[in-house]
Structure 1
Amino acid sequence: MPTRRHLIGAAGLMAVAARASAQGSYPTRPVRLVVGAPPGGGNDIVARLLAERLGRHFGQNFVVDNRPGASGARAAEWVTQQPADGHVLLLANVATHAINAVLVKDSTFDADRDSVPVAPIGTSTNILVVTPSLPVQSVAELIAYARANPGKLNYGSAGSGGSVHLAGELFKLRTGVDIVHVPYRGAGPMVTDLMAGTVQLAFDNYPSSIGAVRGGALRALAVTSGERWPLAPELPTMIESGVPDFTVTTWFGVTARSGTPDPILAALWSAIDGMLAQADFQQALAAIGAVPMPMGRVDFGRFMTGEQQRWRDIVTAARVTLND
């Protein structure tokens, strides 16, 4: 007659077998990787890099599904309406899982309630750039100029509510300068006007402006990462430049709908984490100004929760709204 110990052992083996079966049969059909932005931008490029490699790894098609709107909030909402079986994933980022929780008031998506972390992918910095006609060569000179000319400097962004906009508001909060936000519909027209001097400065995403900087059409003063950026080590950080507690980075990873089986999440994490160590994938990230951000699923979840609280504190202190 089997003992209690034998019964527990059998139950444990059955659970392990069930998990292995769930992992081994995934995916059973094409997987959608949903991106809350139109084709062509950094998030879309990352998603396509990831989809192609995941497709090879799992022997199944991974298809990028672009669903722009409300800084990714609409895409995140749509994913929560799909089955929790790992066949619909979200390319999460600082907007969908941190900033939107504070700024997009009509969103029904709750990152903590509605999603689970799968794997981080990479991170990038913003870069403080000024039009060449502005007579400043450093962050300190910019602050002094702005203080001597309150309300006369305009800073551009690719749109209200993103990290480029909020970095400008954080700059105002940390330094007390009076500069005016001018939102654009995308980074392209903003950079064009910045080069022409229509707006005088921006805390732009690194890949959007670095080409103009290297071509001499813009002047870079600093990066917004906590440490010097490995792709531009010659530029000081904002903190090094005398602005305290100033760190702004963009990041992206993959999440799934809450309730997705753990073996599927583990299989996806293992596949993505393995890619981050591959030289060709690192080179592809570097081409869009990003570096890998490897960490475990639990740590990734804690990271996103910390980001949400950090941006909530900044937005509240700076009194930012989407009506700026």
Structure 2
Amino acid sequence: MVFRFVKNTAVAVSVVTAFAFNPAVAQDQYPSKTTTLVSPFAAGGTNDYLARAMAKKLESTLGKTFIVENRTGANGIIGATYVAKNKGDPHVLLMGNSATHGTNITLYPKTSYDAIKDFTPIGMVGAVPLVMIVSSKLPVNSVQELINYAKANPGTLSFGSSGVGGTGHMTGEKFKQATKMDIVHAAYKGDGPAVADVIAGQIPVAFIGATAVIPHIKSGRLRVLAVASKNRSSSMPDVPTFAEAGVKDVEFSQWYAIMAPADIPKDAATKLSAAVTDAVKSPEMKQAFATQGADPITFNQQELSNFIDEEIAKFSKVIKELNIRVE
């Protein structure tokens, strides 16, 4: 018998209880082991960069190791599914974004995770605004000049994006709808190739995350005509919003937020959420955001939950309205 040296039954019970899992103790001590923060996109991109910066700061704040693991593929679905399957475990987190918890729900109706039921929202991290860029070879310096150029040269313009169904594609289609411009979409496999072709003059226009264009703006190889956010970006304060440029209802961004699996202990979620908010406000993270052309955002759990609901509804409407499909 396991307790053959314990003669008193009451003592035996107390021994068992002492070694049994105690949820209250576990929550108070969170994190109690290494935490994995999954980045569902490849290393080198903004999602991965911000995940690593956040992991480093959270490790310093919470006193336990945080590591970043890239589980890529299927527009973030593979990484998100992995985290969703770790139900109840606050030591497996996701750097979610506008794809995993925004567009995928409508673009991939049979996806292997439920963006609402399978996750616990922890805290917003930040957003990278979508911008409209044009080749320096194109003789336009404002949104209105581009519209006038398109009218004077019908059928000659195309716009690039990082791929079908991405936020850049949606921004371009929404702009096209609002302005009634004659401009055709050219899908690329990422922001980089699209930016390269704009610089080379292969395509005149692109709708791209600000991260990919900041160095080229500074060098003068690209011009930014507008930013697709409600307010001007802190990283590009001189660039007008689409609304300021006279085009309404073109507001999209690539946003990033930390998500945990469903059913994690409430105390652990609260502690982690507070740590994420403090991290986003820290000087280290502000510097990290600046290098990526990103704007820090601090949403608590409820605010993030509400925001995700709004984003899913917004993207669903746009995708159906513009008949955007992933082949």
TM-score (norm 2): 0.89
Superposition map of 1:82-101 within 5 A? 82-101=86-105
Cα distance in 2 between the residues matched to 1:228 and 1:314 = 23
Partner residue of 1:45 out of 42, 49, 67: 49
Partner residue of 1:146 out of 142, 145, 150: 150
| 2:131 match | 127
Partner residue of 2:303 out of 299, 302, 307: 299
Local SS of the residue matching 2:122: strand
What whole-Å deviation, never above 9, does each CA across 1:169-218 have from its counterpart, x for those lacking one?
11112112221211222222221111011111111111101211111101
Q: Does residue 67 in structure 1 map to residue 71 in structure 2?
A: yes
Cα distance in 1 between the residues matched to 2:181 and 2:58 = 46
| 1:221 match | 225
- Asked whether the 8 Å contact 2:178–2:247 carries over to 1, the reply is yes
1:19 deviates by: 7.1
Local SS of the residue matching 2:116: helix
Superposition map of 1:274-285 within 5 A? 274-285=278-289
| 2:194 match | 190
Write the letter of the residue equivalent to 1:276. V
Cα distance in 1 between the residues matched to 2:133 and 2:44 = 23
Q: Does residue 163 in structure 1 map to residue 175 in structure 2?
A: no
Q: 1:19 to 1:84 in 2, by over 3 A?
A: closer
Cα distance in 1 between the residues matched to 2:52 and 2:251 = 28
**Runs of 4 or more consecutive aligned structure 1 residues displaced over 4 Å after TM superposition:** none
Identify the range of structure 1 (75-84 vs 85-94) with the bigger mean alpha-carbon deviation.
75-84
Cα distance in 2 between the residues matched to 1:120 and 1:134 = 37
Partner residue of 2:181 out of 167, 172, 177: 177
| 2:316 match | 312
1:58 deviates by: 2.3
Local SS of the residue matching 2:132: strand
- Asked whether the 8 Å contact 2:127–2:294 carries over to 1, the reply is yes
Cα distance in 2 between the residues matched to 1:92 and 1:322 = 20
- Asked whether the 8 Å contact 1:151–1:178 carries over to 2, the reply is yes
| 1:258 match | 262
What whole-Å deviation, never above 9, does each CA across 1:140-186 have from its counterpart, x for those lacking one?
11122223334321211122222111111111121122212112222
Identity %: 36
- Asked whether the 8 Å contact 1:121–1:293 carries over to 2, the reply is yes
Cα distance in 2 between the residues matched to 1:178 and 1:112 = 38
Q: Does residue 113 in structure 1 map to residue 117 in structure 2?
A: yes
1:93 deviates by: 0.7
Write the letter of the residue equivalent to 1:105. P
Local SS of the residue matching 1:180: strand
Identify the range of structure 1 (81-90 vs 37-46) with the bigger mean alpha-carbon deviation.
81-90
Q: Does residue 32 in structure 1 map to residue 36 in structure 2?
A: yes
Cα distance in 2 between the residues matched to 1:282 and 1:272 = 13
If you compute each CA radius of gyration, which structure gives the higher value, 1 or 2? 2
TM-score (norm 1): 0.90
Structure 2: state its 5+ residue gaps: 1-21
Q: 1:147 to 1:101 in 2, by over 3 A?
A: farther
Local SS of the residue matching 2:213: helix
1:225 deviates by: 0.9
